[in-house]
A and B are shown apart, each in its own frame.
Chain A
Amino acid sequence: MASLKLKGISKRFGDVVALSNINLPIDDGEFCVLLGPSGCGKSTLLQIVAGLTSQDEGSVFVNNQPVDHLSPRDRDVAMVFQSYALYPHMTVAQNLGFGLRMRGIHKDTIWKRITEAANLLGIHDLLKRRPRELSGGQRQRVAMGRALVRRPQLFLLDEPLSNLDAMLRINVRLELMRLHKQIQGTILYVTHDQVEAMTLGDKVVIMKAGSIHQIDRPETIYDRPADTFVASFIGSPAMNLFQGNLIRAKRGFIFQSADFSLNLQDIPLNFKENTIEIGIRPEDIEISHGSENELKAKVEIISNVGSEKYIHTRIGSATITARARKEETFLSGETISLGINPSKLHIFYNGKRI
């Protein structure tokens, strides 16, 4: 296994900037997830690491050695593609062994490795079949097997679960975690699904439009998003974000938006008066039918997801979503009061956390 370091990677396609100054260190054995919306450049980055595309600027280091001049073959990486890219005219066994055959490894070794991987992934009865005879889940496993068999320094996975149905996705995700524990490989994993990212990754990299917004452990990203993009991207339903002014009051500050104001008095803020954004997650809002809390909001829509309820309310022109326990009942049109714990607030200036 190996460590991976990306320094200053940039890539343009014509006028479009795909990647801009990407710096990312990944330790040996780490499971690193690149998360971001479509078009943020994460797949391009993966291709650069694999050597399939070359970057315009910057370097890729594997085990602290620059590999930029090496072809994919010589970089000793294995890749699992979104569409699996199984060779349609070869059997599963031949698919698994292809990479080893190309490197001239001895037949017996190849066969040993194939059976090992096949047993690990539970596909050993499929060895003689062809890809078109397999289900989506089986094909996915063969794709992973092809990577495992190679015993590479680095595993690159490009949205490997996105073509699976929801149930299968959850199962395979668990298997991936199990596999990672077993083989302890260094993995660079690309996805747009935040649940995948948060459950699988040791380290999550949030990307948007070619730049990295935050690199951290999943919990940190959730609890302390670095900017408003990360804050609204992670967490479902999304964090409530409001723009307004910070006004100095007798004790501390007051947040004033067009629709409501919030007393921030207990928060230690070393800041001037300014236009800021604040965010609060639905689960951090306290709801009461009475008037104990600060904000009076009108209930518009109630989403019942079974294990809990999400109440979408309105204050003036702003909408706030709060989480309620499933036993609580609400009426559309009802006025409720929402309490916000200042210590759970996220405060952003110019988009960035303060």
Chain B
Amino acid sequence: MTRKDQNFYLALLVPAIAVLLLFIAAPIVHSFFLSFHRIIIGLPQLKTPFVGLDNYRELLNDPVARHSFWVTIIFVGTTTFFELLIGILLALLIHHRFPGRGALRACVLIPWAIPTVVSAQMWRFLFNDAYGVINYAIFGANISHYIPWLALPPTALLSIVVADIWKTSSFAALLILAGLQVIPEELYQAAKVDGAVVWQRFLHITWPLIRPALLVALLFRTIDAFRVFDLAFVMTQGGPADATNVLQLYGYKKMFVEGWMGYGSAISVCIFIMVMVLAIAYVRMVGRRLLEASV
């Protein structure tokens, strides 16, 4: 390829890269910068002094932050596990050729397509403590027994976990389905002739060959789960008693509700570092070859 061609292609890249630099890369760097300052929105007269690592020190001693971290971890762990599990089952179902397969796929896509806030309102409605259909399903018309799901700490977290699983299992299913579809049908035929029964075929053929797709799904899901916000905001506002105060919600509250932009930035930097560590660990684990092959 000539120099001229190369320059042409690089020129094509410029607009997109510029936007990304300006609106993603630069803000990240700026967040780091802000986290070393003390900034209170709405009180400009207080100026914005440099405070070094003070925000981070405060963060380490902040019990709410620590609690927030654990809430998020529990959320990430449970949702990812169940979403991958349900995702595998859904993918296996959709993979089969049967009439109505397209309809099933459309059904499964709908939770993914609707806005998270709509899904959040929907689950708020379903989990309602006076007329929610979930309470009705468990306790019948016995209203006095109804559980106020969103008002009790353990069940509140459960509610947003359920809401997330409902919404994103289909995404995991699609990623796994892609992995399933590259497995040649003849491999299964050969296995059948070789004498493998259903579970043997799954264990020896399907499972090893969908592992790459599973890992991709695992990566995307984990990172997305760490960033949960919409569900917690709409369903519980982080309550009750910080039971669902996930990291991004906590950062949002600190930064935009209470106005502590410096501190909030420190929180966001921490979240960023955690997500990046995850991504790097994943790439290490899976091997650069796999990622390169897909890129």
What residues of chain A have their CB less than 8 Å away from a CB belonging to chain B? 47, 50-52, 71-73, 77-79, 81, 83, 85, 87-89, 98-99, 102-103, 146, 150
Contact = CB atoms under 8 A, between A and B. Distances in A.
Contacts of B205: 87
Given A88-B209, A89-B209, A81 B196 contact: no
B92 interface: no
A83 B197 contact: no
B143 interface: no
B186 A103 contact: no
B196 A73 contact: yes
A59 to B, nearest CB: 20
Main DSSP-derived SS at the A contact region = mixed
Interface in B157-207: 184, 186-187, 189-197, 200, 204-205
Nearest to B190: A85
B115 interface: no
B208 interface: yes
Contacts of B193: 50-52, 72-73, 77-79, 99
Contact of A89 (B192, B194, B195, B208): B208
A102 B191 CA distance: 9
Contacts of A73: 192-197
B184 A83 contact: yes
Contacts of A51: 192-193
A78 B190 CA distance: 9
Contact of B194 (A47, A83, A88, A99): A99
Contacts of A150: 194
A150 to B, nearest CB: 7
Contacts of A71: 192
Nearest to B194: A99
A50 B192 CA distance: 9
A100 B224 CA distance: 44
A52 B194 contact: no
Given A78-B193, A79-B189, A85 B184 contact: yes
Contact of B187 (A78, A87, A99, A102): A87
A3 to B, nearest CB: 19
Contacts of B195: 72-73, 99, 102-103
Given A89-B208, A102-B200, A81 B189 contact: yes
Contacts of A52: 189, 192-193
Contact of B192 (A72, A83, A88, A103): A72
A98 B203 CA distance: 12
A150 B190 CA distance: 12
A87 B186 CA distance: 10
A99 B189 CA distance: 12
